[in-house]
């Protein structure tokens, strides 16, 4: 069975640009969450979506936005990129919207902002 997939695997952008990251959950999973992992730190929660609705939002600026599509895949958008946005962006899927359910993580997208 295919796990959580993310694209692209690596991305290089310059300050001020915008970026779109994509995530496909495990088949049958309706919840997708996004995390930012800066080098040397634990992941930081950005968003959770369930059934195309936002169910949770972490402490990130409005430059960060996301959406979930009818097939439960998801996009994370970041506008006006800053150097500090350089990180590994992780997507996780689960069967339901509760964080108590096990989340399955993708390999991540490594974003570098120059």
Partner 1 sequence: AQSVTQLDSHVSVSEGTPVLLRCNYSSSYSPSLFWYVQHPNKGLQLLLKYTSAATLVKGINGFEAEFKKSETSFHLTKPSAHMSDAAEYFCVVIPGGNYQLIWGAGTKLIIKP
Minimum distance from residue 17 beta carbon to partner 1 (Å): 26
Within 10 angstroms of residue 111's Cβ, the number of other Cβ atoms is 21
Contacts of 113 (CB under 8 A, 6+ apart): 12, 13, 14, 15, 81, 82, 83, 84, 85, 86
# of chain residues touching partner 1 (CB under 8 A): 25
CB of 40 to partner 1, least distance (A): 8
- Report how far residue 94's alpha carbon sits from residue 105's, in angstroms, rounded to the nearest whole number: 9
> Site map for partner 1, 13-42, x if CB under 8 A?
---------------------------xxx
- For binding to partner 1 (CB under 8 A), which residues are involved? 3-4, 40-45, 48, 55-56, 58, 90, 92, 97-100, 102-108
């Amino acid at each position: 069975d295919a796990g959580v997939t993310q694209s692209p695997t690596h991305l290089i952008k310059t300050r001020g640009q915008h970026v779109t990251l994509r995530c496909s959950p495990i088949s049958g999973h309706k919840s997708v969450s996004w995390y930012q992992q800066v080098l040397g730190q634990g992941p930081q929660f950005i968003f959770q979506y369930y059934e195309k609705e936002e169910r949770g939002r972490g402490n990130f600026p409005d430059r960060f936005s996301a959406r979930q599509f009818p097939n439960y895949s998801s996009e994370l958008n970041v506008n006006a990129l800053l150097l500090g946005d350089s990180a590994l962006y992780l997507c996780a899927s689960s069967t339901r919207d509760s964080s108590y359910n096990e989340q399955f993580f993708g390999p991540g997208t490594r974003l570098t902002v120059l």
